[in-house]
Amino acid sequence: MVKTLPGTGGTQTIVNAIGALVANDRRVLVVGARRASLDGIAHRLEQVRLGGLAVGTERLRRDLIASITRNEKVEQPRIADVDDALVRLRRVLLDYRHALTRKDPELGVSVLDALTALAGLASMPTPPDTTARLDRSSLVALATGRRPWPPTSCVPRRSASSGSVLATRPGTVPTSRPRRPRRPRTPSPAG
């Protein structure tokens, strides 16, 4: 509560307090005995570009009547309907989680495993780049006899030719291709 005599800086004190409270996501209610004091606060808020914070009495009266009318027409939500909706949403989320983590019987990996491996490849300093697309039968043929992913022995190493980081498993081809050596140029016949 701020009680001041006219001309002692009370309006500025109130505007400063409002600004500080609003900056901290707080709600502020300013009540005054005189309409002139409230108008002075609203005017000062407009000067510091916070005019949208002030609510005038006409606007307040209209908004208050509209909200009371709106609240009188609202029906009480039935708790049973809300509970049923939450149970249905929980089932949907559990089904989604199961679909993401279920391992494919032929490939031995889940969608989540595949996305995690792709994110790991994409985060490499030089990520692999290809336009090749494999059909399911090719993926199944590649998956038979392979070790589980990610392998414990997967250690990043540097390629001698390109300097890029390659993640390899022992006995496998690197996941990123080194650059091809350039062919020597043959001199063109002078003519």
Tell me phi and psi for residue 188, to 5 degrees.
Answer: -80, 145
What pLDDT, on the 0 to 100 scale, is given for residue 17? 87
Interval 116-130 mean pLDDT: 89
Write down the pLDDT at residue 170. Answer: 46
Please give the Cα distance from 134 to 123 (Å, whole number). Answer: 22
pLDDT of 54: 67
- For residue 109, pLDDT over 80 is answered with yes
Least confident of 57-66, 89-98, 121-130: 57-66
Question: Which DSSP category does 175 fall into?
Answer: S
d(CA 116, CA 101): 11
* Among the ranges given (33-37, 41-45, 103-107, 112-116), the one the predictor scored with the smallest mean pLDDT: 33-37
% residues pLDDT > 90 (the chain):
14
> pTM, whole model, 2 decimals?
0.35
Write down the mean pLDDT value for the chain: 76
Q: What percent of the chain has pLDDT over 70?
A: 71
> What whole-number distance in Å separates Cα of residue 22 and Cα of residue 170?
61
Does position 82 have pLDDT exceeding 90, yes or no?
no
Mind listing the pLDDT tens digit for each residue in 142-173? 888 666 555 555 545 555 555 444 444 444 44
